[in-house]
Amino acid sequence: MRKASGFLEYERIDPKKRPPEERIKDWNEIRQPQDPEVVKTQGARCMNCGVPFCHGGVLLKGIASGCPVHNLIPEWNELVCQGQWKEAYLRLIRANPFPEFTARVCPAPCEGACTEGYIMESVTINSLEYEIIERAFAEGWVKTKKAQETGKKVAVIGSGPAGMSVAYYLNAVGHDVTVFERDDRAGGLMMYGIPNMKLEKRFIERRLDLMKASGIKFVLNTEVGKDISAKELVDSYDAVVLCTGASKGRGLDVEGKELKGVHFAMDFLKANTKSLLDSNLKDGNYISAKGKNVIIIGGGDTGTDCVGTSIRHGCESVCQFEILPQPPEKRIEEDNPWPEWPKKLKVDYGQEEAIRLYGADPRNYLISTKKMVGNENGEVKEVHTVEITWDKDTSGRFVPQEVPGSEKVWEADLVLLAMGFLGPEDTIPDELKLERNLSSNVKAEYEVFETNVEKVFTAGDMRRGQSLIVWAIQEGKLAAREVDKYLMGKSVIK
C-alpha cells in the first residue's frame, strides 16, 4: 500500500451533498463528486486487513455484515490510492456487475463491518466504489460482454436488480436471454421505487443500453400471468427465472384505512417518478403532497424517500411515525458488537431536508396509530395515535404496551404507509403451483434457487423476502450459475 499508516494519518472525508435549500427545488442527484486526490487518501485509509471483514457478506442476527457480493474491497482501495483507476475498476467488477447502483443506494454493510470501525471511523468504501465506476464510464472502460452462443433460451421475469443480474451473467456465458417487465420501463423498483434524486434514472438507462447492445432482449408492458401465461414461457424456454420481487405492501388494519388520501408509499413513489420521467410532472398523473400535511407511517429508506418527495412537492408539513424506539447515537457494544451492522441514529437526506425546512426532525418514535378520521367527503383529515413502550410478556417476548394518557390527534391530508412488504404477488406462483415458505416467499434453497417446478428458478426478494439491492444482485449471479449448470452441466460463473 502507498501508505501503510494512512488509517492513522487521514481522517474520514465523506462526499459532500448539495445544500438542502438548493436540492429540494429539483429532482437531480444529491451527491457531489470528490476530488481525485481526496479519493486517493481515502483509499489509503484502508488497513488491508489480514481478514477483511468488509467483504464477508454474512448474516448476523438477521442483518448483513460485510458485502453480500463479496467485493474485493482492500484490493481496489489500494489500487485507487496508487492512482491505478482502471485496475481498480477491473477488480471492482469481478464481484459486482452494477456498482453504479450499489454505490448510490446500498446502505454499505461493508462499512459496518470495516475493521477500522471497531475503534474509529470506517473506510469510505461506498464513495470509493462510486468514484471508480463513474470514472470507468467516463473513460470508456465499461464494455458489453457476450460469449459464443449456446443455443439455449432463458426467460427472466422481472427487470429489477435480481433480474438484471441473472440476465447479465447468463448472457455473458452465451445464452439467449429475454427479460419480461410489466412496466413501460425496465429497472423494477430501482426505476420506479427509488426517487430520482437518490438514483437518477439516466444511470439505469445507461446500463440497460449496454445490456441491450450485448444481446439481451427486454419485453416491456407485458405482465406475465396476464398478458402472457407463465406456463407458456415455461413451455417455450429452456429455463425460466422468476425475479418479480416482494411487492405486496404491508397494510395498516385500523379504522379509516379506506379513506381517500391513504396510500401505500410505493404507489406514491412510483407514480411520482413515472410522471417525472414522462412529463416532468406536468401531466398531473401522480399523488401530490403540495400544500398538504403529510403523515408517513414507517421508517427506513422508503419512509425517507417519501419525506424527500413530499418536500419537493411543497408539502405544508411532514411527520414520520416509527413504532420502535429511537436508536442510540453510537453503537452499544454490549447489545450490538462489531462486526454487526451498527444500529445507531442516522439522519438521511430526507430528514436533513425536513430539519432545514421545518426546523425539526420529522421522526416520532414509539408511536402507534389507533385510527384515521375523515371529513364529510371521505377524505382523511386526522390520524389518532398513542405512545407505547416495549415490555416483555410472560414468554419473554417484547410486546408494545400503550402509555395511558398519551393519546394525540395529528392533522393529516395525506397518509403514506411505508411499513415494508409481505411477499411476492400471487399470480405467477399460483399459476405454476409453486411451493411457498411460511413467509409466502417462493420456496427455493439458497445456492440452488430451483423451485419445485422443473426448469423454473427464482432469485432476489421473491425468494428471500424484502431485502437489499446488493443481496438481489448476488442472488441473481448465483441463480444464473445454477441455471447455467442446469443447461450445460457445468458453469464458469463464480
How far is it, in rounded angstroms, from Cα 355 to Cα 175?
51
Write down the pLDDT at residue 4.
Answer: 76
With 50 as the cut, is the pLDDT of residue 84 above it?
A: yes
Mean pLDDT, rounded, for 126-141: 97
Residue 480: partners with Cβ closer than 8 Å, 6 or more residues away: 165, 166, 168, 169, 170, 241, 493
- On the question of pLDDT at 446 being above 80, the answer is yes
Q: Radius of gyration of the chain from Cα atoms?
A: 23
Q: Which CATH number fits domain 6-139: 1.10.1060.10, 1.10.3210.10, 1.10.3720.10, 2.40.10.220?
A: 1.10.1060.10
**How many CB atoms are closer than 10 A to CB 90?**
16
Confidence of residue 380 (pLDDT cuts 50, 70, 90): very high
Residue 421: other Cβ atoms inside 10 A: 18
- Helix or strand run (H / E) with residue 409: strand 408-411
Helix or strand run (H / E) with residue 157: strand 153-157
The pLDDT assigned to 6 comes to 85
Which residue, 60, 45, 213, 55, is CA-closest to 121? Answer: 45
Task: With beta carbons less than 8 A apart as the criterion, state whether 31 and 15 touch.
Answer: yes
For residue range 338-355, what is the model confidence (pLDDT) as tens digits? 999 999 999 999 999 999
Sign for the pseudo-dihedral over CA of 162, 167, 169, 170: positive
H/E element, 239: strand 239-242
Count of Cβ atoms closer than 10 Å to residue 321 Cβ: 24
Task: Give 325's Cβ-side CA count (13 Å radius).
Answer: 12
Is residue 14 pLDDT above 90, yes or no?
A: yes
- How far apart, in whole angstroms, are the C-alpha atoms of residue 153 and residue 174? 10
User: Using omega within 30 degrees of 0 as the cis cutoff, is the peptide bond preceding 339 cis?
Assistant: yes
Cβ–Cβ contacts within 10 Å for residue 231, how many? 15
State the average pLDDT for the chain: 96
What residues are paired with 72 via a beta bridge? Answer: none
Q: How far apart are CA 59 and CA 61, in angstroms?
A: 6
Fold of the CATH domain 153-248+422-488: FAD/NAD(P)-binding domain (3.50.50)
pLDDT at residue 480 is higher than 70:
yes
Q: What is the pLDDT of residue 2?
A: 58
Check whether 124 has a pLDDT greater than 90.
Answer: yes
- Residue 128 sits at φ, ψ, to 5 deg, of -65, -40
Percent of the chain with pLDDT over 90: 93
Strand duo 456-458 + 239-242: pairing: parallel
Regarding pTM above 0.85, the answer is yes
User: CA 344 to CA 327: how far, in whole Å?
Assistant: 5
Q: How far apart are the first and last CA of the chain?
A: 27
- C-alpha span between 416 and 131 (Å, rounded): 35
Which pLDDT score is estimated for 394?
Answer: 86
CA dist., res. 155 & res. 455, Å (int): 11
The residues near 371 (Cβ < 8 Å, ≥ 6 apart) are 254, 255, 256, 383, 384
Segments making up each domain of the chain, as ranges:
6-139, 153-248+422-488, 251-419
**Mind listing the pLDDT tens digit for each residue in 279-310?**
999 999 999 999 999 999 998 899 999 999 99
What's the CA gap between 164 and 97, in Å, rounded?
A: 9
* The domains spanning 153-248+422-488 and 251-419 adopt the same CATH topology: yes
Residue 171 pLDDT = 97
Burial class (CB in 10 A: 0-12, 13-18, 19+), 283: exposed
Q: What is the pLDDT of residues 41-79, one digit of tens each?
A: 999 999 988 899 999 999 999 999 999 999 999 999 999
CA dihedral over 328, 330, 334, 337, signed as positive or negative: positive
Q: What is the pLDDT of residue 146?
A: 84
3-state secondary structure of 365: strand
The answer to whether residue 145 scores a pLDDT higher than 90 is no
Q: How far apart are CA 304 and CA 287, in angstroms?
A: 17
For the domain bounded by 251-419, which CATH number is listed? 3.50.50.60
Q: Is the pLDDT of residue 1 over 70?
A: no
Q: What is the reported pLDDT for 278?
A: 98
